[in-house]
Amino acid sequence: MSHEVSHEVSPEVGTGEQPDWAHSFGGVVDAYDRARPTYPREAVEWLVGQQAATVLELGAGTGKLTALLAELGHDVLATDPDQTMLERLTRNLPEVRTIVASAEDLPVGAQAYDVVVAAQAFHWFDLDRALPEIARVLKPGGHLALVWNTRDESIPWVRRLGRIIGTQEQLDEPAAVLADSALFGDVDQATFSHWQQIDRKSIQDLVLSRSNVAVLDEEGRAAKLAEVLAFYDDFGRGMDGMQLPYVTRCFRVPVAPRDEPTGDSDVSDQEANGSGPSDGTDTDMLLIDFR
């Protein structure tokens, strides 16, 4: 596996609006869990770091990334808006804490996490609401980490597959929107290469796990599967399967420093508001001498 790191700003991400596709995965949880690829260990180390950290994962799904985060020793709270997906995550990783929540409304305390991470999910977020929430829960010096597995469509047969199954879940570039936000600092990027072994059965699960297919009716899904199987059979791999190449694209951005109280003043809040002890010179207090 290889990677390269850059500090370039990419084209702007989309609007951040959540189409219905974003909430379609619960109905295909089995196919999703079986078919979706994992992530390179080196990518996860780059995203989160090699020192144990407190990590809030957004859109955790069935736990493809979560498993690696836990394996690396991080303290993870996994969130997802879909209860069904989280139930599968809990079955796969019973030691990981979970909570049903969206990126736009995080029921956790301020400045509580070293890292907030999202895999294959950032393009579903309402960024106007999600980015302030993410910044709120990050500790000073903490960072947001984003990752996508994208098929390597520089290879002709992979590009043909993409035309059949759709590309809307491929990477939406986040760097520009993060760079334009006063909530975050400079964006770092890295890419990693890896492969997924697929066969005639698992390629069907891979297709069924896609949001654009999950929202189809039964007839529509059957037609799409038939199209993909015709492609697979024509490609001639048979029972031996094929290696589906991925480029894992990673983004890491620190939360911007917050304005903190200076602590230079000895005046309490009560005194600053005029409700503290009086020296007796104000006219609102009657001093009685009982000597």
Other CB atoms within 10 A of residue 67 CB = 18
Q: What is the pLDDT of residue 169?
A: 53
pLDDT tens-digit readout, 106-139: 999 999 999 999 999 998 899 999 999 999 999 9
pLDDT tens-digit readout, 18-29: 444 444 444 568
Is the distance from CB of 53 to CB of 114 less than 8 angstroms?
A: yes
| Residue-by-residue DSSP string for 85-151 | HHHHHHHH-TTSEEEE-BTTB--S-TT-EEEEEEES-GGGS-HHHHHHHHHHHEEEEEEEEEEEEEE
All domains in the chain, ordered by first residue: 3-254 (3.40.50.150)
243-258 mean pLDDT: 94
Among 247, 195, 175, which Cα is nearest to 3's? Answer: 247
More confident: 184 or 242: 184
- Cα distance from N-terminal residue to C-terminal residue, the chain: 87
Is the pTM higher than 0.85?
no
pLDDT tens-digit readout, 79-112: 999 999 999 999 999 999 999 999 999 999 999 9
Task: Tell me how far CA of residue 232 lies from CA of 198, 199, 216, 255, in angstroms.
Answer: 10, 9, 21, 45
